[in-house]
Structure 1
Amino acid sequence: MDKLSIVVPCYNEEDVIQLFYSTVERSIDEIQSLETEYWFVNDGSEDFTLPKLRELHKNFPERVHYISFSRNFGKEAALYAGLQASSGDYVVVMDADLQDPSALLPKMYSLIKTGKYDCIGTRRVDREGESKLKSFLSNQFYKIINKISQTNIIPSARDYRMMTRQMVNAVLSLKEYDRFSKGIFSWVGFRTKYLDYHNIQRAAGTTDWSTWKLFRYALNGIADFSQVPLSLAVWLGTVSFVASVIGIIFVIIRRIVEPNSSVFGWASLVCLILLLGGLQLLCIGIVGKYVGKTYLQSKNRPIYIIKEKH
């Protein structure tokens, strides 16, 4: 009998824990001859998520397990911890807010059982209910990163996916501290089929992913899977240097040809200084982003710390 592990990162999800379990169970019941286990990962929640998980584990001790972090380490760390704890032949990653339709689970399982695919992923065909700004920035992110990265990241793809144990082990073999799972899932390869679905609103509560957090997450993704920003810094520095040399030659020639010509005004000089200074700071910032990632990785700190596990 095959075993399916369901990994569920949780952060302040007290209102949906029981509802999530009941909903997923109804979908799992449609699959015959399948053993299941749940791994809920409490990512330092500040509400009553942990007591809810304790209660659920008490009611279903053989099927429901949980991990609780010592503090909030982020969804990527929670996802990694859940994958490490899972023991199933197949592993599915889901959000607790029920935005990932559990009704797709039987179809995902039937497709992956054919042996044609190592992963059955999902992607949203629309973003109904989201702000236009967030949707615009998300679309632009996928366009940019797929142009500058050799790793193809599927637009609107979700973390919600079912994977074989072989693919899960490949994902776990990547030990980077600052993780970007959407890129990692694509980078490890394996045959993947995507199922489309329409956007679903949260069952309860509000999302913790603000526009600013998504923007920072996107920057991390670009830095993790592309060196183009570093090349951009080099080119900006080269262009600025060449332009400066041309400007100096022009001033010298003009001085020789027209000895009595007026000197450029201080406003022009200030603009040039600000331009070059801004370019320098931009390039230093880009390089600093990569150096910072190297610095964090070199510390060899754990991706997460467990306070409680059952």
Structure 2
Amino acid sequence: MLADFVREVQRVTTHLPLTKKFILVNDGSSDDTLAVMKALAASSDDIFYLSFSRNFGKESAILAGLTYSEGDFVTLMDADLQDPPELLNDMYQKMTTENYDIVGCKRRNRQGEPAIRTFFANRFYSLINHISDQEIPSGVRDFRLMTRQVVDELLKLSEVNRFSKGLFAWAGFKAFYIDYDNVERQAGKSSWHFWQLVSYSIDGIVNFSDAPLNFATVTGFVSFVISLCLAAFYMTKTLLFGDPVQGFPTLIILMLLIGGLQLFSLGIIGKYIGKIFLETKHRPSYIIKEKNLD
């Protein structure tokens, strides 16, 4: 899709008073993507490429593209044409006439996606907007036009555990979102599997909310109160009615309940500690194997 993507962007933005440059990021693909990138770069002085040593993930690819960008305006786009290039005209017009710092795109619907994916995506946005201080509009994509100032400020955020949609919201600035109907990819299929999306959603929640930690604390406290109430109940029952507790089933149930809650809470705490551990390593977010720009 790369050649079609570049051709389509150039076609629909011909009249814009801008000098356009493309930075294509190859995130460790196993097909002929790099060869296509090299061919495109050889055919135009305005096309550049970065190729990672392996797959580092979408967030690293976004970071690399922003790092090597130089323009007064920078846009992020998927190369499968799910981000409609014709919207670039409206985005540029909105930014320059109404003085916005960010103009993004937000899908009105998810037509064409599996129903279960749509359901959980909507639940994720509802949850994170409820427990986080940063509002992330439902359906918003990484496809957005940004001023140089916005990009420079985002690049100052040196964290390894990145969730770009949250970072865009955290940075602030004057933003506007253009609604559009969902567009299906023109070729191929998504490499994102359901559980990868779940993991990515959990990372977003952990990165921008401490609500799970508060939940673990409250769960522990409630479990402690329940255990005290049960102890008082059975003690009173035995003293007043001389009814010995039939303890084996009760004991097993309580052990499984308390043990499960403890492990669940430890898992939440461990997720945060794991993120801290990754940050302390100071590993680079990506390694570039080949490129044609400085």
Q: TM-score, normalised by structure 2?
A: 0.98
Once the two structures are superposed, the pairs formed by residues 1-310 of structure 1 within 5 Å of their partners are 16-31=1-16, 33-60=17-44, 62-114=45-97, 116-259=99-242, 261-310=243-292
Q: d(CA) in 1 for partners of 2:156 and 2:13? A: 29
Structure 2 gap ranges (5+): none
Q: Secondary structure in 1 aligned to 2:135?
A: coil
Q: CA deviation at 1:88?
A: 0.1
Given that 2:59 and 2:163 are in contact with CA atoms closer than 8 Å, whether structure 1 keeps it comes out as yes
Q: d(CA) in 2 for partners of 1:303 and 1:21? A: 26
Q: Secondary structure in 2 aligned to 1:34?
A: coil
Q: CA deviation at 1:296?
A: 0.3
Q: d(CA) in 2 for partners of 1:73 and 1:121? A: 25
Given that 1:93 and 1:161 are in contact with CA atoms closer than 8 Å, whether structure 2 keeps it comes out as yes
Q: d(CA) in 2 for partners of 1:267 and 1:204? A: 57
Q: d(CA) in 1 for partners of 2:117 and 2:137? A: 17
- One-letter code of the match for 1:40? L
Q: d(CA) in 2 for partners of 1:198 and 1:18? A: 24
Deviating more after overlay: 182-191 vs 268-277: 268-277
Residue deviations 1:52-96 (CA, integer Å, cap 9, x gap): 001100111x20000000000001000000000000000000000
Q: TM-score, normalised by structure 1?
A: 0.93
Q: Secondary structure in 2 aligned to 1:102?
A: coil
Q: Secondary structure in 2 aligned to 1:52?
A: helix
Q: CA deviation at 1:268?
A: 2.0
Q: d(CA) in 2 for partners of 1:120 and 1:263? A: 66
- One-letter code of the match for 2:240? V
Give the percent of matched residue pairs that are identical in Structure 1 and Structure 2. Answer: 46
Residue-pair matches, total: 292
Q: CA deviation at 1:115?
A: 5.2
Given that 2:238 and 2:244 are in contact with CA atoms closer than 8 Å, whether structure 1 keeps it comes out as no
Given that 1:118 and 1:163 are in contact with CA atoms closer than 8 Å, whether structure 2 keeps it comes out as yes
- One-letter code of the match for 2:137? I
Q: d(CA) in 1 for partners of 2:188 and 2:194? A: 17
Given that 1:30 and 1:106 are in contact with CA atoms closer than 8 Å, whether structure 2 keeps it comes out as no
Q: Secondary structure in 2 aligned to 1:292?
A: helix
- One-letter code of the match for 1:53? M
Q: d(CA) in 1 for partners of 2:154 and 2:19? A: 23
Q: CA-atom RMSD, angstroms?
A: 0.9
Q: d(CA) in 2 for partners of 1:85 and 1:119? A: 19
Q: CA deviation at 1:258?
A: 2.3
- One-letter code of the match for 1:23? E
